[in-house]
Amino acid sequence: MIAAWATRYTRDNAASDRPAPPVATPGTVAVAETGEGPFVRAISVGGRHVLTTDEPEDYGGTDSGPSPEDFLLAGLGACTSMTMRMYAQRKGFKLERVAATLRHDKVHAKDCANCET
């Protein structure tokens, strides 16, 4: 425990090129590069949760976390299934289990083939 605390003050850590993790306040989301790869990002949600996002190796990332599109689908699936649960509870419907499966068909290389900038 003391070692973990002390690493904040060591010369190696202070001279590190790694940027500080993002800090989000309640109700906000902060995203920042981690320095661990070209597309690796740390995401701080409301100051309580930290997530990592990246691109797959096939697209130049290190695959160290879900892609941004995966997070988007995760949010959509979570919201949809929670809304179904909430509606069933309010209406008194018996609902044993809610599950959602989502997918996307992003083709990374073709997304900006005709972009001007």
- 36 to each of 8, 16, 62, 115, how far by Cα in Å? 19, 12, 9, 28
**Count of structural domains, the chain:** 2
10 located within any domain: no
CA distance 75 to 95: 21
Q: What gap in Å lies between CA 113 and CA 117, rounded to an integer?
A: 10
Inside any domain, residue 6: no
pLDDT of residue 2: 63
The encoded tokens of residue 53 equal 């996002």
Residue 110: its pLDDT value, please? 61
SS3 state of residue 58:
helix
Of 41, 44, 51, residue with least CA distance to 24: 44
Domain region containing 51: 21-65
Average of pLDDT values for 82-91? 97
